[in-house]
């Protein structure tokens, strides 16, 4: 079983829809949770970062972390065609943990927002 599981999709939604992307994980040492966005033929770029449990909002994007359930989510409101990309969740442990300084990625979800 992978440490981080992410539904690869693909996910296709109409413009304006609310998108929910999710990851589950098994390593309780993970403390840092990130979402990366990767456009076609580009490298991943950091979209959202959250430390420990809780929510974080940035414009149309909201990241949620539920450490008790080992579950993280990314919500995209009012989705736009420019949001079409692959979204990767990533996690790392706190200092002192064996995973510190290394990211463990989910498989990535391919999202298409059509006009």
Class of residue 38 by CB neighbours under 10 A (exposed 0-12, middle 13-18, buried 19+): middle
What binding mask, one character per residue, do residues 79-98 give for other proteins by CB under 8 A, x or -? ---------x-x-x------
Contact between 105 and other proteins per CB under 8 A: yes
Nearer to other proteins, 17 or 84 (CB): 84
Candidate list 42, 55, 80, 81; residue touching other proteins; CB under 8 A: 42
- 90 touches 105 (CB < 8 A): yes
Contact between 11 and other proteins per CB under 8 A: no
Of 49, 110, 54, 59, nearest to 84 by C-alpha is 110
């Amino acid at each position: 079983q992978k440490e981080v599981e992410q539904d690869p999709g693909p996910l296709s939604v109409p413009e304006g829809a609310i998108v929910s992307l999710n990851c589950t994980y098994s390593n309780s040492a993970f403390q840092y949770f990130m979402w990366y966005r990767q456009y076609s033929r580009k490298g991943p770029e950091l979209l959202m970062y959250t430390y420990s449990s809780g929510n974080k909002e940035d414009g149309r994007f909201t990241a949620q972390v539920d450490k008790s359930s080992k579950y993280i989510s990314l919500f995209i409101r009012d989705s736009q065609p420019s949001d079409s990309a692959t979204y990767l969740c990533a996690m790392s442990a706190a200092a002192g943990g064996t995973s510190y300084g290394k990211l463990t990625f989910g498989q990535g979800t391919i999202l298409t927002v059509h006009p």
